[in-house]
Amino acid sequence: MIVVMSHRASDGEIEEVLFRLEKIGFQIHLSRGVERTIIGAIGDRKILGEISLESLPGVEKVVPILQPYKLASRTFQEENTVVRVGGLEIGGDTIHVMAGPCAVESREQIMQAARLVRDAGGTILRGGAFKPRTSPYSFQGLEEEGLKLLAEAREETGLLVVTEVMDVRTVPIVAQYADILQIGARNMQNFFLLREVAKVDKPVVLKRSPSGTIEEWLMAAEYIMSGGNYNVILCERGIRSFENYTRNTLDLTAVPVVKHLSHLPVIVDPSHAIGIWRFVSPMARAAVAAGADGLIVEVHPNPSEALCDGPQSLTPENFKEMMVNLKSIAGIMGRKMP
Ligand code: PEP
Ligand code: MN
C-alpha cells in the first residue's frame, strides 16, 4: 500500500508512521517529494490488524496497490523511472538505441560493429558473450574473452555495453565488464538469477519471455526491484503465437499497456521478435511511434557471415537508414535521438 503524508506532516509524524510500519514487518520504500512524502509499504495488509494508519497524525490517505506487483506499478510511483547509466538517461526524453551483433565473434568483428553503431548514432553496444542457443551444437559465445572484447570496444568508442548474463555463477564476471546486464527471454522467470542481479549496482534489461504474460513479466521485474535494484528496463522481444512466418510475434500492444501499468522504461527488440532483417526497421519505427523508450537491434558488419542470427541482422547501411528514419518518428513523438 501507499501511505500519502499530508504536505503539512512534520518529520516526527513521518518517522512515527515509518516506525510503526517497520515494527510490524512492512518493507518500506520512502519517497520524499517536493510537495509531499509518500511511503510505500510492502507486506500483507492483514498484519496491520487493528492499527488504523489513516488516524495517525500527518497521514492524508492510504491507497492499496491492487496489482500483485507493487514496486513496479504506476500506483506505487506515478512519474516515469529514468534509468541513469554512464551519463545516459533511459526512459527520459531521449530514445536510446542499443545495437550490435547477436554474439561477440572476434576483435575485428566487434570493433567494426561498435564503430558503425557509434557513427550512426547508437549509444549502447550489444553483443552476447554467453549465448543461450536452442541447439547445444551451435556457437555458445566467447565467454570471458567476449566480455573483454566488449570492454575494449567501449574503451575505443565511448559506447556503453549491454550483455546477457545467463547464469547465477557468471553474474560477478558479467557485472565486472558490462554497464547494463541483460536477462534473456528464456530466463525471465529464473527467479534465482533475478534475485542475484537484484544485488548488482547496474541496470538490468529484462526481456519478456516468449510465453510470458504482461503480469508475469512485471512480477519478474518485481523480483529484481524487491531485491534492491530499481533500475529495471523492460524489453518486449516477441511472443509465441500461431503465426510462424516470423520468428515470434511482436506484441507492440505491450508498450502502451506496460507503460500504463508501470513506471519502468520499456524498450523493444524487433530483431528477435521478427527474425527477418527486412521487417526490423518498419517495426522499430512502429515501436517508437507506440511510445517505446528505446530499442535493441542486431546489426552485423557482414550478416551473411554471422555465427548467430545473421538472417535478422541489419547490414551497416540498413542500420544507418533505420536510424535516420527513427529520428523523424522520434521528432513527431516529441522525443529526441542523440
Ligand atoms: C539476445 O538478445 O541475444 C537474445 C538471445 O534475445 P532473447 O533472450 O530475447 O531471445
Ligand atoms: Mn540474437
The pLDDT score that the predictor gives to residue 254 is 98
- CB of 102 within 6 A of ligand 1: the answer is yes
CB crowding 200-226: b at 16 or more within 10 Å, else e:
bebbbbbbbbbebebeebbbbbbbbbb
Q: Which helix (H) or strand (E) holds 59?
A: strand 59-63
Q: Return the ligand number nearest the Cα of 133.
A: 1
Give the Å distance between the CA of 185 and the centre of ligand 1: 6
The pLDDT score that the predictor gives to residue 31 is 84
Cα–Cα distance for residue pair 220/234, rounded to 1 Å:
10
End-to-end CA distance of the chain: 38
**If DSSP codes are grouped into helix, strand and coil, which group holds residue 159?**
coil
Residue minimizing CA distance to atom 9 of ligand 1: 185
Mean pLDDT by 10 residues, the chain (338 residues): 92 94 91 85 84 92 92 93 98 98 98 98 98 94 98 98 98 98 98 98 98 98 94 98 98 98 98 98 98 98 98 98 98 97
Give the Å distance between the CA of 210 and the centre of ligand 2: 14
Residue minimizing CA distance to atom 3 of ligand 1: 102
Our CA angle for 261, 263, 265, nearest 5°, is 110
Domains, the chain, in order of start with CATH, read 2-63 (3.30.70.1140), 83-332 (3.20.20.70)
Shortest-distance atom of ligand 1 to CA 103: 3
The pLDDT score that the predictor gives to residue 91 is 98
- CB of 237 within 6 A of ligand 1: the answer is yes
Q: Model's pTM, two decimal places?
A: 0.95
Q: Are 314 and 303 in contact (CB under 8 A)?
A: yes
The pLDDT score that the predictor gives to residue 103 is 98
- CB of 274 within 6 A of ligand 1: the answer is no
The pLDDT score that the predictor gives to residue 43 is 87
